[in-house]
Amino acid sequence: MDASMNDFDRFILNEHERKLCDAAYAINPLDADNLAKWGGALLELSQFQGSPSEMTQMLKGKCCHFISLIRKSDCSLNKV
């Protein structure tokens, strides 16, 4: 019982961190620390996926999203 509650707490904490990072990204998309926190939260959340293939799919999807964010940030930097 205690282990599952600990897992639930980890899930809630990382989901909250992910949402905070999403909000911070809307304000400042070039914040590298925020993107690193976002990636860490997603990596932790992937541990709660049912099977290894589901975990892999989630991570692949989020990595593609992360790469697109980096590309957008890089494009913004080139305009400055």
**For residue 80, what pLDDT band results from cuts at 50, 70 and 90?**
very low
Residues 23, 31: Cα–Cα separation, whole Å: 12
In this structure, which CATH number among 3.90.1150.10, 3.40.50.720, 1.25.40.10, 3.50.50.60 belongs to the domain 2-79? 1.25.40.10
For 48-65, the pLDDT digits (tens) are 877 778 777 877 877 777
Among 15, 17, 22, 2, CA closest to 47: 15
Considering the entire predicted model, what is its pTM? 0.65
Mean pLDDT of 8-34: 89
Going by the DSSP 8-state scheme, the letter that residue 48 receives in this structure is T
The residue extents of the domains of the chain are 2-79
Mean pLDDT of 16-25: 92
Q: Which residues contact 69 (CB under 8 A, 6 or more apart)?
A: 25, 29, 35
- Answer whether residue 25 shows pLDDT above 90: no
Q: How many other C-beta atoms can be found within 10 angstroms of the C-beta atom of residue 67? A: 10
